[in-house]
Amino acid sequence: MTYRTYQDKYFEARALAQSGVLKVRWTDWLAASPVPLSDQVNLTDKVEGMLLGLAVGDSLGNSSESLMPDERRNRYGYIENYLPNRHANGQCIGLPSDDTQMAFWTLEQLIANGCLEPQYLGLAFSRRRIFGIGKSVRKFLSKFKAGTSWRHSGAPSAGNGALMRIAPVLIPYLKEPSCNLWSDTLLAAHLTHDDALSNVSCVAFVDLLWKLLGMSTAPEPAWWITTFIETCECIESDQDYQPRAGHPIGFSGTLSQLLKQYVLPAIEQKRPVLEACSEWHSGAYLLETVPSALYILARHGSDPRAAILSAVNDTKDNDTIAAIVGAAVGALHGLAALPDAWIAQLSGRTEASDDGRVFELLARAGAEFKYGVSAEVQSRVPNDALKQPLIQSRDLEEDALSQGQSITVHSPTLWVKVFGMLNQSWAAIDNLPAGGVRIWFMDDHGRVFDKLDYQLRREARDALRRNGWGVADKDFIEIAGFSNSNHSWDEGGPRHYSSGQYWIY
């Protein structure tokens, strides 16, 4: 089940944009495929560099996040390595925050489904604890878990929470470029952030990353800004955005206008990063994050270490800006150009104790999407991890159940459908932990033979009534327990009373 109206993501995104749900100016630019990458590009090194650069930047910055640069410098000096971390008994190792978690859970979803599916990406975000979760993502999770469609769960926010995790969406297209890359980017961004500035920023950044993957040398400083501006101007609306707290003073306009008016002149003047970023500020608002990241790349894009450290030390929202900068310099220069110590001391976690998980996901992605796996990444994959299922479900309702295995059904209400003398099927509606509901279908002995999921309980009840089910008299039957069954009413045939040929949608 895709939870999409259209099979093709291009038509899905276009329809949502034309209806006003997806906030972007839909133009022919979004119908053009990215230029194919040369066979001479070492995609293994570059893709691994992109995602590990993201994780390294996040981990170097998140121990001192949200401090103003001067305060950070007074407290820690100039940060060049991972700080002692209270979540690792004071060890100086790289631990993730939401930037790494959500980027690699996006990669996990891509591997599991072969492409981006917004509903399943939302489920991936909702099933685990997010470290340092932002307000916008928290609002998204509240709506999504309550059963709101993924199309309408995003928070109206121009924060950087979608941009920080967007890099992996290009991976399925490395070998087969398609305009669906831009649609996937928009759908992934829209999932959590219902905002035009967020959508445009994500598309422009993915376009930038794609071009960096194809480069062998660092571009000229102004290229970073002008390339981003060109993409923004193709799809941004004429909506004006205002800065926070007067940074920069008196500005009102679009992202491309801000980049033209303030960032390009700063590059020409070769202003220090700290000085330039103080003009437009360097927080989590995209009118601050984007110019800060691009300016750092323009000044230090030829030196991955210098670029990432500038983001860590010279900005306020330093973990996210460093993650964005790290993804960009990693895509350009590759894993081999990142300092060995940073990779060696990276825990590779996406949760509290799953050490090495990011390396496992990179290895799986390299195999799944056929761009390869480096020896460096392979050496960091935990023993036997690749022999295990990709997703270890924490919820029995989501497990692949074996014959006879116990199933917990919480619903106090049973539904019944009689289909012959003394023959009936039973159903129960349960809440799902990640949002939505599930209908369990069972026989007189409590053997569950099928299930169907719905976003809303009302939809599940309506579907049961539409197919001839009614609420049962609880005194009529007593089912002691429920277990999994491969039973089908017609041997080898469809399961008539749920998802089979007789179910009326």
Beta partners for residue 423, in sequence order: 420
Task: For residue 233, give the H/E element and its range.
Answer: helix 221-235
Residue 395 burial (CB count, 10 A) = 11
Return phi, psi of residue 110, to 5°. Answer: -60, -40
| Helix %, strand %, coil % of the chain (to 5) | 50, 10, 40
Taking 70 as the pLDDT cut, the residues of the chain under it are 1-2, 392-405, 419-422, 433-434, 473-480, 486-505
27-387 CATH: 1.10.4080.10
CA 493, CA 505: separation in Å to the nearest integer? 20
Number of H helices, E strands in the chain: 19, 7
End-to-end CA distance of the chain: 14
**Dihedral (C-alpha) 333, 339, 340, 344: value to the nearest 10 degrees?**
-110
Helix or strand (DSSP H, E) at 324: helix 318-333
Kindly write down the DSSP assignment for every residue of 349-403, as one continuous string.
-SSSS-TTHHHHHHHHHHHHTTS---HHHHHTSPTTGGGS-SS--SSGGGS-PPT
> Can you give the pLDDT at residue 7?
85
- Chain centroid to Cα 257, Å, comes to 28
pLDDT at 413: 85
Residue with tokens 């501006």: 229
H or E, element range at 471: strand 470-471
Whole-number pLDDT of residue 425: 81
Measured between alpha carbons, how far is residue 60 from residues 49, 96, 312, 321, 418 in Å?
Answer: 16, 9, 7, 11, 63
Residue 443 near residue 487, CB atoms below 8 Å: yes
Q: Taking a C-beta distance cutoff of 8 angstroms, is the pair 69, 77 a contact? A: no
Q: Strand pairing partners for 439?
A: 429, 452
Q: How is the chain split into domains, by residue range?
A: 27-387, 396-484
**HEC assignment per residue over 292-317:** HHHHHHHHHCCCHHHHHHHHHHHCCC
CA distances to 7, 112, 292, 432 from 395, rounded to whole Å, are 29, 17, 41, 9
| pLDDT at residue 112 in the model | 87
Nearest residue to 117 via CA among 101, 130, 105: 105
pLDDT of amino acid 392 = 57
Pairing of strands 437-442, 447-454: antiparallel
Summarised one tens digit per residue, pLDDT across range 306-341 is: 999 999 999 999 999 999 999 999 999 999 999 999
Distance CA 249, CA 446 (A): 68
Give the model's pLDDT for residue 442. 83
* Residue 494 CB coordination number (10 Å): 15
